[in-house]
C-alpha cells in the first residue's frame, strides 16, 4: 500500500508532463495557456501546534442490566412463546417444559398430604377416647372401685394417644413441606422472564431437550447501555472514574464527550487490561456496537490539524487540496490520525506553513489557480 501511495504523485507528474509535451506540437500559444482561475475559496495555513496527547482505546457496547435465562430441571421444551427481538415484561411466560416426572411427583406429594391429614384425624379421635377413659378410671380409682394397675394402664394409653397425635402432626407437616417442594419443582417447568427487556439471543428451540443450568435465552434492558473500554495496565493509575474522554460510535457516526463512570478494579490476566465503563444515553445504541475512546493523559505533543471538512475521501485514499506559493492548486495525499471535535490530526503529507482549501474544494481541479 505504501509503494502505491508513493507512486501516485509520480504518475500525476508524469501525466502532466506528457500533457505538456503533447500540447507543444500545437504551437507556443497552447503551451502558454493560463491556468483556470477559481474564486471564492477559503484557505487556511497549517501550523505546528501543541495538542493534548491522547490514548486511543477500543471496546464494545453492552447492556448494563441483562439476564441469562436457564432451566433448573431437565425436560423438553413443549411451548416457546418468544424469539429474538421480542420485547418481554418481568414475570411473562417465555416457555414451558414437558417434565412429567416432576408433575407426577407433585401429584404424589399432594396425595400424601391427604393421607397425613386422615392419620392426624384418627390420632385425635383415639386421644379423645383415651382422655375420656382415663377420666372415668381416675374417678373410679379415687373411689377405690378399680385397682392401681388398671388405672395406670389407662394413664399409659392416654400418654400413647397424645404422642400419636404429635407424630401425626409431624407427618402432616412433613407431607406439606414435601408437597411445597414438589410444587416448586413443578413450577420450574414454567420459564418466566426475570426482567423486562428485549430478547437478544435464543439458544434453544421448540422440542429441544434441556438440562439444569443450560442457557435458553438472554434478555437485555433496553433503557441502559454502557461502553466498556479496555484500558492497558500502563495507564491504570493515571485514569480515574470521572475522567472525561472523547467517545466515538462508528455505527451511529457519533462523537461526543463523556465521563468514565466506573473502572473494574481487577485486570484481565489474558489481555492485561482493565475495563472502564461509560454510560450511554444516545438513541439507536444497541448491544455489541463497536466504540472508541480517546483519553487525555495530561501531556502534550506537537502536530498539525486541519478542519474536518478539508479532508476528502476518495476510495481508499485520503486527500486534501493545497495551494502553493504561486496560488496553484494541487492535490495532496495525507495520513490522518484521531479526530478532535471539528478538526482532524494530520500525521503525514502536510508541513508547517502549507495552505489548504477548507471550503470550495468541489470547484477546483489539479492545476487551477486560486484567487
| Residue 102 confidence class, pLDDT cut points 50, 70, 90 | low
Distance from chain centroid for Cα 360:
43
Predicted pLDDT at 237: 79
CB 59 within 8 A of CB 229: yes
Tell me the CATH number of domain 69-94+191-217, given options 3.50.50.60, 3.40.50.300, 2.40.50.100, 2.60.40.10: 2.40.50.100
The Cα 91–Cα 69 span in angstroms is 12
pLDDT tens column, 12-27: 443 333 344 444 444 4
Predicted pLDDT at 28: 43
DSSP characters over 190-207:
EEE-SS-EEEEEE---TT
Domain ranges of the chain: 1-33, 34-54+300-370, 56-65+221-299, 69-94+191-217, 100-187
- Cell for 87? 420485547
Q: What is the mean pLDDT of the chain?
A: 82
Partners of 322 in the beta sheet? Answer: 330, 356
Predicted pLDDT at 5: 39
CATH topology of domain 56-65+221-299: Elongation Factor Tu (Ef-tu); domain 3 (2.40.30)
Q: How many helices (H) and strands (E) does the chain have?
A: 4, 24
* pLDDT, average across residues 274-293: 89
* pLDDT, average across residues 165-194: 82
pTM of the model as a whole: 0.54
pLDDT tens column, 230-264: 988 888 778 888 888 889 898 888 888 899 999 98
Class of domain 34-54+300-370: mainly beta
Q: How far is CA 342 from CA 55, 74, 256, 339, 345, in A?
A: 19, 58, 11, 7, 10
Partners of 60 in the beta sheet? Answer: 228, 290
CB 339 within 8 A of CB 308: yes
The C-alpha angle with vertex 215 and arms to 272 and 288, in degrees rounded to 5, equals: 50
DSSP characters over 290-340:
EEEEEEEEEEEEEEEEEEGGG-EEETTEEEEEEE-TT-BEEEEE-EEEEEE
* pLDDT, average across residues 306-331: 89
pLDDT tens column, 103-155: 666 677 777 788 888 888 998 999 899 999 989 988 888 888 888 898 889 88
Amino acid at each position: 500500500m505504501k509503494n502505491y501511495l508513493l507512486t501516485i504523485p509520480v504518475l500525476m507528474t508524469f501525466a502532466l508532463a506528457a500533457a505538456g509535451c503533447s500540447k507543444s506540437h500545437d504551437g507556443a500559444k497552447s503551451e502558454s495557456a493560463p491556468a483556470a482561475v477559481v474564486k471564492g475559496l477559503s484557505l487556511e495555513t497549517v501550523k505546528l501546534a501543541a495538542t493534548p496527547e491522547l490514548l486511543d482505546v477500543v471496546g464494545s457496547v453492552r447492556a448494563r442490566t441483562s439476564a441469562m435465562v436457564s432451566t433448573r430441571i431437565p425436560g423438553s421444551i413443549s411451548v416457546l412463546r418468544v424469539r429474538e427481538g421480542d420485547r418481554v415484561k418481568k414475570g411473562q411466560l417465555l416457555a414451558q417444559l414437558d417434565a412429567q416426572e416432576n408433575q407426577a411427583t407433585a401429584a404424589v406429594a399432594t396425595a400424601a398430604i391427604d393421607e397425613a391429614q386422615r392419620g392426624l384425624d384418627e390420632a385425635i379421635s383415639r386421644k379423645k377416647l383415651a382422655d375420656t377413659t382415663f377420666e372415668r378410671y381416675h374417678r373410679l380409682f379415687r373411689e377405690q372401685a378399680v385397682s392401681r394397675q388398671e388405672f395406670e394402664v389407662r394413664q399409659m394409653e392416654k400418654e400413647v394417644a397424645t404422642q400419636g397425635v404429635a407424630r401425626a402432626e409431624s407427618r402432616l407437616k412433613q407431607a406439606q413441606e414435601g408437597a411445597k417442594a414438589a410444587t416448586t419443582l413443578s413450577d420450574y417447568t414454567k420459564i418466566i422472564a426475570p426482567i423486562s427487556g428485549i430478547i437478544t439471543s435464543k439458544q434453544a428451540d421448540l422440542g429441544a431437550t434441556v438440562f439444569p443450568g443450560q442457557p435458553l435465552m438472554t434478555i437485555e434492558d433496553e433503557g441502559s447501555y454502557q461502553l466498556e473500554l479496555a484500558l492497558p495496565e500502563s495507564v491504570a493509575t493515571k485514569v480515574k472514574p470521572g475522567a472525561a474522554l472523547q467517545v466515538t460510535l462508528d455505527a451511529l457516526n457519533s462523537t461526543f464527550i463523556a465521563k468514565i463512570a466506573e473502572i473494574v478494579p481487577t485486570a484481565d490476566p489474558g489481555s492485561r487490561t482493565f475495563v472502564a465503563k461509560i454510560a450511554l444515553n444516545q438513541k439507536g445504541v444497541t448491544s455489541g456496537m463497536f466504540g472508541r475512546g480517546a483519553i487525555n493523559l495530561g501531556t502534550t505533543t506537537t502536530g498539525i490539524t486541519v478542519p474536518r471538512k478539508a479532508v476528502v475521501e476518495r476510495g481508499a485514499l485520503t486527500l486534501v487540496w493545497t495551494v502553493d506559493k504561486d496560488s496553484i492548486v494541487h492535490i495532496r495525499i495525507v495520513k490522518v490520525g484521531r479526530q478532535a471535535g471539528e478538526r482532524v490530526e494530520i500525521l503525514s503529507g502536510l508541513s508547517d506553513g502549507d495552505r489548504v482549501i477548507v471550503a470550495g474544494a468541489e470547484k477546483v481541479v489539479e492545476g487551477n489557480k486560486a484567487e
